[in-house]
Amino acid sequence: MATVSKATAGRVDIAPNAFVVPMAQTIVGSMAGGRPNFMAVAWLTRVNYQPPMLGVAINRRNFSHGAIAASGQFSVNFPTVDMTAVTDYTGLASGARVDKSGLFEVFHGHLDAAPLIRECPLGIECRVHTAVELPSNTFFIGEIVGAWCAEDCLDGDGAPDPKLLRPMLLTMPDNRYWAMGDVVGRAWHDGKALRVRAGG
């Protein structure tokens, strides 16, 4: 039986933008004027299982926004925890004013306007499927057409190993980068212990 209470005792109604949950910190790549551009992006999520899709929320003021809208392509690159400075820089400087193309060694997979970053052990190339216009941002939903993982970050079964990828996480609004913490359980597994009790 669920316990339902309307009382907010012990809870503080914080500002709507003040909640803190760790997000994967990425670098989104696009092509503008024939050269790669990169921007720090943390507002992203998987949005569709089959075909695989992910969405990135890009503020319309960013130079990358026009590039992604024009080409219909973008990449999502996952830097390691060693890459905080260069990742942060891509979020401080705009491609409208500075050339960020030389920051990384670039390679291309299947798409010509989704530059992948060699220094990032995991990179995903996307073709825009849908662009959802929100008040300040466009939520670009991309169909994943390629996902590239560094060989030395694969586990014995050939799957990307999070411990080897060493992804960067971001929390807002305290604006700090984090490393991943400890494994605390197994998904689609640990809940099985409650099945008998709940009868599900």
Ligand X SMILES: Cc1cc2nc3c(=O)[nH]c(=O)nc-3n(C[C@H](O)[C@H](O)[C@H](O)COP(=O)(O)O)c2cc1C
Rounded to 5 degrees, what are φ and ψ at 181? -95, -155
What sign has the CA pseudo-torsion 97, 173, 29, 62? negative
3-state secondary structure of 110: coil
Per CB under 6 A, does 91 bind ligand X?
Answer: yes
Residue 58 as a binder of ligand X (CB under 6 A): the answer is yes
* Residue from the set 29, 31, 40, 153 that interacts with ligand X by CB under 6 A: 40
Binding mask 109-148 for ligand X (x = CB under 6 A): ----------------------------------------
Q: Site for ligand X (CB under 6 A): which residue of 57, 145, 154, 180?
A: 57
Q: Does 171 bind ligand X (CB under 6 A)?
A: no
Based on the shown chain and the rule CB under 6 A, indicate whether residue 62 belongs to the binding site for ligand X: yes
Binding-site size for ligand X (CB under 6 A) equals 21
| Cβ contacts of 31 within 8 Å, gap of 6 or more | 37, 67, 71, 73, 112, 113, 114, 115
For position 93 contacting ligand X by CB under 6 A, the verdict is yes
- 8-state DSSP, 151: G
Residue 112, CA atoms < 13 Å, CB-side half-sphere: 4
Q: How far is the CB of 122 from ligand X (least distance, A)?
A: 17
Tokens of 143: 């169909």
Task: Reduce the DSSP state of residue 116 to 3 states and report it.
Answer: strand
41 binds ligand X (CB under 6 A): yes
Residue type, 95: G
Could you tell me the two tokens for 78? 């996952």
Q: Would you say 37 or 121 has its CB closer to ligand X?
A: 37
Chain Cα centroid distance, residue 85: 17
- Tell whether residue 103 is a contact of ligand X (CB under 6 A): no
Among 20, 96, 132, 194, binds ligand X (CB under 6 A): 96
Which residues in this chain contact ligand X in the complex, by CB under 6 A? 25, 37, 39-43, 57-59, 62-64, 88, 91-96, 170
